[in-house]
């Protein structure tokens, strides 16, 4: 009887994990969450950057003038200066995730 209870418990845990794990990954796959985990440490939660450390603002007038293609290239490949810290495409970030970050940056710029 104890073995069957253990088997049922393991089965229930497996089903719960199967249900919860995809939900957690979907929840994390939005622009705000990706920005917070990949960008906010340097550019700030609000996108203001850190001028003293020469980290540019993402909400400045210059950043607002940048095209989506420029922002995408900056995130995916490091931009024109090929900043290795920004080459997220080579670090496994998908094009859709990069688009989500660009969209989130545009939302920050509207605030």
Q: Which residues contact 73 (CB under 8 A, 6 or more apart)?
A: 79, 80
Least confident residue range of 51-55, 63-67, 80-84, 96-100 = 80-84
Q: How far is CA 76 from the centre of its chain?
A: 12
Q: How far is it, in rounded angstroms, from Cα 91 to Cα 41? A: 17
pLDDT band at 27 (very low <50, low <70, confident <90, very high): very low
Residue 1 has pLDDT above 60, yes or no: no
Task: Give the residue-averaged pLDDT of 23-47.
Answer: 80
Contact between residue 107 and residue 81 where contact means Cβ atoms under 8 Å apart: no
pLDDT tens for residues 58-91?
Answer: 999 999 999 999 999 999 888 877 777 777 887 8
Choose between 28 and 2: higher pLDDT. Answer: 2
Domain residue ranges in the chain:
31-110
Residue found under tokens 């939900």: 23
Query: pLDDT value at position 20?
Result: 54
Q: How far is CA 103 from CA 59, 60, 109, in A?
A: 13, 16, 10
**What's the pTM value of the predicted model, to 2 decimals?**
0.70
Domain spanning 31-110: which superfamily? Cytochrome c-like domain (1.10.760.10)
Task: Give the residue-averaged pLDDT of 45-67.
Answer: 92
């Amino acid at each position: 009887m104890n073995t069957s209870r253990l088997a049922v418990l393991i089965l229930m845990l497996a089903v719960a994990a199967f249900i919860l794990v995809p939900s957690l990954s979907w929840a994390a796959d939005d622009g705000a969450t990706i920005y917070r985990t990949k960008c906010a440490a340097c550019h700030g939660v609000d996108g203001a950057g850190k001028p003293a450390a020469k980290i540019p603002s993402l909400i400045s007038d210059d950043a607002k003038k940048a095209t989506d293609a420029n922002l995408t290239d900056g995130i995916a490949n490091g931009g024109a200066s090929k900043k290795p810290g920004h080459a997220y495409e080579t670090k496994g970030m998908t094009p859709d995730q990069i688009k989500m970050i660009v969209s989130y940056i545009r939302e920050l710029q509207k605030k």
